[in-house]
Structure 1
Amino acid sequence: MTRAKRPGAEAVGPRSLGADLRAIRKGRKLTLTDLAEALGRSVGWVSQIERDISTPSIADLRRIAEILDVPISLLFGEATVSPEERGYVVRAGARRAMGSGANGLTEELLSPDLTDSFEVIHSTFAAYSGLEAPVRRETQEVGFVISGRLNLTIAERRFTVGPGDSFRIRGEYYTWDNPYDTPAVVVWVISPPVY
């Protein structure tokens, strides 16, 4: 007699380094060949890492993180998660740090992993922080302000957003600054994943 599988069990497996690397690489629009060439490795070697057949060394992980422009901490494991919660629940104390922390921006992954067609990020913009130059990503993004205020320039239009406000960026140049006394906390949904 076989045990019944819970609905959707096949769709969500445990987070793996390989799955996250594949999602980040694809989000950067890099092929296996592009990443292999940048690493000075074979396509087969990169493919084995992405399929969790091989484990890269710490030096390899540092180089991969550098090429993909992510913090190396993103490529290390996750907090202990019960089997029932893995792929479904992210506890507040178990979020993975994202981004570089530059410009006064601290980010954490709210999604269980990076294998979906979108990612959800918790961003904290420090008081008196900001981007020095506009950036543009090949993404669609929606932000929802939890607390604080944030100034945004999206496609040369300037906005100030506060608690309960939301905004969208569709592949346009944008910049942000927080010239206020308190941090701003924003939840972002980004598609495709960029971390």
Structure 2
Amino acid sequence: MTDHDTSESTDDADHKIGATFRRLRQDRGMSLRELADMSGVSVGMISQIERDLANPSMRVLTALRRALNIPMQSMFNDDPAEGADNPPFVRRAARRPHIDLGPLQKELLTSGGNHNLQIMILTIAPGGTSGQTALSYPAEKGGLVLEGELTLSVDNCDARLAEGDSFVFDSALSHGFRNDSDRPARILWVIGAVQFDRHL
């Protein structure tokens, strides 16, 4: 359960997240120190992530994304122009962008553009987790176990989920997940934006 596991990408659509974060940070004119101060992630860790020497945990990924004020879609380096021959509400299977986070792979299903609803497939390797520290931010999450098993923890309550099991929870509650099995788990993962006044 680390913030810096590494893994090779095996698909042309896969990409390490470092170059994307560096570009987004530089586009905003932010130094490493400024991003570190805003995100609570150390300068050293951000530098390693940007050079693809470390893979961020879900907690670190979320902290950096929120500090940069970018939607989830931006992390996938998705180019809407590449799908211009399709209706804007469609994502073709062959054009799904991927993110390689070592023991965790993210595959974007949501069509191009910014949306309040994000749909992904997470593939979690045996022993893979969401990170050492629990996640918590205003949104709603739900999903379906497509293959394998997943242990989901929400508000200090653990549930072991098997193929076909589904879930929905308020992600303002502390939460995380891990794959305790000996085979990969594939999860349909849905994140819906929540009005901030629900959490005031």
| Same topology, TM > 0.5 | yes
The two structures have a TM-score, normalised by structure 1, of: 0.58
Distance in 2 between residues matched to 1:110 and 1:71, nearest whole Å: 10
Distance in 2 between residues matched to 1:143 and 1:72, nearest whole Å: 21
Distance in 1 between residues matched to 2:80 and 2:151, nearest whole Å: 33
Partner letter of residue 124 of structure 1? Answer: T
Aligned residue for 2:76, secondary structure, equals: helix
Residue number in structure 1 paired with 2:79: 77
Among 29, 32, 39, the alignment partner of 1:39 is 29
Sequence identity percentage? 20
Aligned length in residues = 135
- Structure 1 residue 135 displacement after superposition: 1.0
Answer yes or no: is the 8 Å Cα contact 2:80–2:113 preserved in 1. no
Partner letter of residue 126 of structure 1? Answer: A
CA RMSD of aligned residues (A): 3.5
- Structure 1 residue 175 displacement after superposition: 1.3
Residue number in structure 1 paired with 2:189: 188
1:31-110 map, 5 Å: 39=29, 67-68=68-69, 74-78=76-80, 80-81=82-83, 83=85, 85-98=86-99, 101-102=101-102, 104-110=103-109
| Structure 1 gaps, min length 5 | 1-34, 41-61
Answer yes or no: is the 8 Å Cα contact 2:109–2:120 preserved in 1. yes
1:126-137 map, 5 Å: 126-130=125-129, 131-137=131-137
Q: Which protein has the larger Cα radius of gyration, Structure 1 or Structure 2?
A: 1
Residue number in structure 2 paired with 1:9: none
Distance in 1 between residues matched to 2:29 and 2:84, nearest whole Å: 35
- Structure 1 residue 152 displacement after superposition: 1.1
Task: Map Cα deviations across residues 79-133 of structure 1 (whole Å, 9 max, x no partner).
Answer: 84352x23132222211224x615x111111010242221111111111111222
- Structure 1 residue 68 displacement after superposition: 4.7
Aligned residue for 1:93, secondary structure, equals: helix
The two structures have a TM-score, normalised by structure 2, of: 0.56
Answer yes or no: is the 8 Å Cα contact 1:73–1:97 preserved in 2. no
Distance in 2 between residues matched to 1:172 and 1:150, nearest whole Å: 18
